[in-house]
Amino acid sequence: MRKIQLNVSVAALMAVLTIGAPVRAQVTIGGMTDPKQGTLLDLNSTAKGGLLLSNVSLTDLEKIPGGVFVGIAGEQDNNTELTGMIVYNTNVNTGRGLYVWNGVKWTTFAIGDGDFDPLVPGEVGVLTDPRDNETYLTGNFGTAGIWMLENLRYVTGYTHSVYISYTSKYYGYPGANEQPYSTVTAKTNWNKSWGVLYNWAGATNGRSSNINESDKSYDAGHPKVQGVCPDGWYLPSDWEWNNLEEVIAAAEKNIYSSEDPSPMTSGFRGAMNYRNAPLGRKMKSTSKVTETASATNGTSKLAAVGGFDALLVGIVLEVEDDGTFRRHFGTHAYFWSSSSYNNTYACGRYLTHDNTGVNRYYYGNRSDLYSVRCKKD
């Protein structure tokens, strides 16, 4: 074990260690104490200074830029030799902050979901669902609260079915449009980033309200519904979807979207159908679910940097006399709220590739299967 008083830049030493030069000794920087067991580099806690990382503009989070790192002349992807390399990204379009190369793409450093500063919109956290150990990115939307930035995919205790039911808890898998929907093959080409789809009974964990709760706050008698969400999280109401939309619409450029602010117009809370263009673009992912899908026309930031990043994964439903369908894959995104409208319908949202607004509606048939995003208590 070696203790060394080094007169070199920390950034230079980190670059050597990360890129994989043949350094074998344990090193302490900032003091003469032995480095702690298990460390290659130990920054002495009493040293007066910080760790200065390379400042790099990452224009594509799935590539290592050329002409930036020593010995790498051209752009590269799938470079496993540099797995673990850390940089500070200065590019506002992909999201400024600390990034690590995982061998395939750059991923942001996220904080725990309990550590958010409510005054810092756009912060990204990580939620681990203790029920199945699935992890989700979460985002801070200021006064609208903390929301999951990915679609839920919890299925334990639920039935994989598309049979029409307003009371049984069902789920299905999004995927290529088909009729009839097959529970045998539905998961064959499923990508877990799409999440799963739930009927309203599944999303609300069996809730049976039959009154109109559209845009009613909890103070007005609308109960908070945990539903299918993990402990400490719940299914947001129609009122809270309105709050979220208001925040995203008014946010400065490059917080949630690459577009300029477009505050909601007066009366938006009570309006149904498509509202407030270009809000729909700001909530839609720029990523297509398949290479052959229609362009999303979305401008949301990636979930990794705090955008709502709605994927257009479609819907599963049963049409009377026509059977079961998987529809609108690659063109629409549907989301449940916890708010009922009557004993057949509930309030929801949908986004389409060819419309710049957000469709707020009360006629979501409770037997249809939609995506779910949870909100933090």
Residue 324 binned pLDDT confidence (cut-offs 50, 70, 90)? confident
Residue 265 binned pLDDT confidence (cut-offs 50, 70, 90)? confident
Residue 235, judged by CB atoms within 10 A of its CB (0-12, 13-18, 19+), counts as: buried
Residue 33's pLDDT is what? 74
Rounded mean pLDDT, 309-336: 89
Partners of residue 28 on adjacent β-strands: 42
Q: What is the mean pLDDT of the chain?
A: 84
Listed in sequence order, the residues at least 6 apart from 339 whose beta carbon sits closer than 8 Å to its beta carbon are: 213, 214, 215, 216, 222, 237, 238, 239, 346, 347
Please name the residue that has the structure tokens 């480095």. 35
Residue 218's pLDDT is what? 84
Type of residue at 255: I
Residue 89's pLDDT is what? 82
Task: Look at residue 5 and tell me whether its pLDDT is greater than 90.
Answer: no
Residue 131 binned pLDDT confidence (cut-offs 50, 70, 90)? very high
Task: Look at residue 271 and tell me whether its pLDDT is greater than 70.
Answer: yes
Local structure of 245: helix, strand or coil: helix
Residue 6 binned pLDDT confidence (cut-offs 50, 70, 90)? very low
Residue 11's pLDDT is what? 47
In terms of pLDDT, which residue wins out, 189 or 226?
226
Task: Look at residue 214 and tell me whether its pLDDT is greater than 70.
Answer: yes
In terms of pLDDT, which residue wins out, 270 or 327?
327
Residue 4's pLDDT is what? 45
Separation of alpha carbons 134 and 132, rounded Å: 6
Instruction: Name the least confident of 34-43, 76-85, 303-312.
Output: 34-43
Separation of alpha carbons 149 and 305, rounded Å: 10
Rounded mean pLDDT, 263-272: 82
Separation of alpha carbons 214 and 65, rounded Å: 48
In terms of pLDDT, which residue wins out, 215 or 47?
215
At 277-300, the pLDDT tens digits run 899 999 999 999 999 999 999 999
Separation of alpha carbons 107 and 103, rounded Å: 10
At 9-32, the pLDDT tens digits run 444 445 444 444 444 556 767 666
Residue 47's pLDDT is what? 57
Instruction: Name the least confident of 130-139, 170-179, 263-272, 283-292.
Output: 263-272
At 159-199, the pLDDT tens digits run 998 887 889 999 999 999 988 899 999 999 899 999 999 99
Quick check: 306 and 287 in contact, CB under 8 A?
no
User: pTM, whole model, 2 decimals?
Assistant: 0.72
At 118-127, the pLDDT tens digits run 546 788 999 9
Instruction: Name the least confident of 8-22, 109-123, 260-274.
Output: 8-22
Separation of alpha carbons 78 and 37, rounded Å: 32
Token output for 115: 């550590």
Task: Look at residue 213 and tell me whether its pLDDT is greater than 80.
Answer: yes
User: 200 to each of 82, 196, 208, 362, how far by Cα in Å?
Assistant: 45, 13, 10, 13
Task: Look at residue 373 and tell me whether its pLDDT is greater than 80.
Answer: yes
Q: How many CB atoms lie under 10 A from the CB of residue 118?
A: 11
Token output for 229: 């969400």
